[in-house]
Amino acid sequence: MLTRRHFIITTAAMFSGPALAPGMASAAAGDWDMWDAQVTPPGYDPATTNPWGLEPRFLPVRVETKPGLKAGDIHVDSVARFLYHIEPGGTAMRYGVAIARGKLYVPGIYSIKRKAKWPSWTPTKSMIERDPELYAQHAGGVEPGPTNPLGSRALYLYRGSRDSYLRIHGTPEPRTIGGRASSGCIRMVMAHINELYPNVSLGSTAYLYPTSGVL
C-alpha cells in the first residue's frame, strides 16, 4: 500500500528563474500568447513573485525526494496541499495547490492521457444537479480565457481508458491555493502550471493521496 510517507521530501532549495468546443480552437489559439502574458506577473520569478498573496511555502521550489520515485510522475499531497513533479536524479518541483471540497476529493492513481492549453470548460451533469444555482448557467460551456474555471492549462486524469473528469488545472482564483475549494479537481496558480505543463508527458501517472490513510 502506498502512503504519503513514500514521497515525503527531505530537503529543499529555492528554484529560480473536455476538448475545445467546435469553433473555439482557432480563436483561442490566436489569443494564447496574450492571455499567457496577462496571467504572468511582470518580471516573474517563480521563487519570489507573489502578487496572489500566497503563503510562501506554496511558491514553486525544487526539493529532494526519497529514492524510488519515477521521473515524470506527479504526486499530490492532499494534506500539505503540495503537488510534486518528479525529476531525474532524485529531485522534484513542488507547487502549492487547492484540492476539492469534502467528499468531492477522490484520491487514487490516474494516468494523464490528455493535455490542453487554454481549454474550454463545461460543468458535468452531477455538478449542475448538485449546485444548479452555480453551474446551470454554464451548461452550454465556457469559452477559453483568463476567467475560465480551468484557467490556462489542464492535465486530464484518466482511469484506464475512462475519463475521470478530474483535472489538474490553472485557476482564476489563486487565493484558494492551500485550501479546499474545487468540485473535484486540483487547482494551481496559472503562472505555475504554465511552467509545469511542458514538462509533463502524456502517459505519466498522477498519484492523488488521501487526506488520511493509504492509497
| Residues annotated catalytic, as ranges | 169, 185
Amino acid at 209: Y
Give residue 139's region: left, alpha or beta (phi > 0; psi -120 to 50): alpha
Neighbours of 44 (CB within 10 A): 14
Lookup: cell for 145 = 480565457
Lookup: cell for 11 = 530537503
Q: Alpha-carbon distance 186 to 181, whole Å?
A: 9
Burial class of residue 47 in the structure, from the number of CB atoms within 10 Å of its CB (0-12 exposed, 13-18 middle, 19+ buried)? middle
Of the candidates 145, 148, 147, 146, which has an alpha carbon nearest to the alpha carbon of residue 121?
148
Lookup: cell for 207 = 498519484
Q: What are phi and psi of 27, to 5 degrees?
A: -65, -40
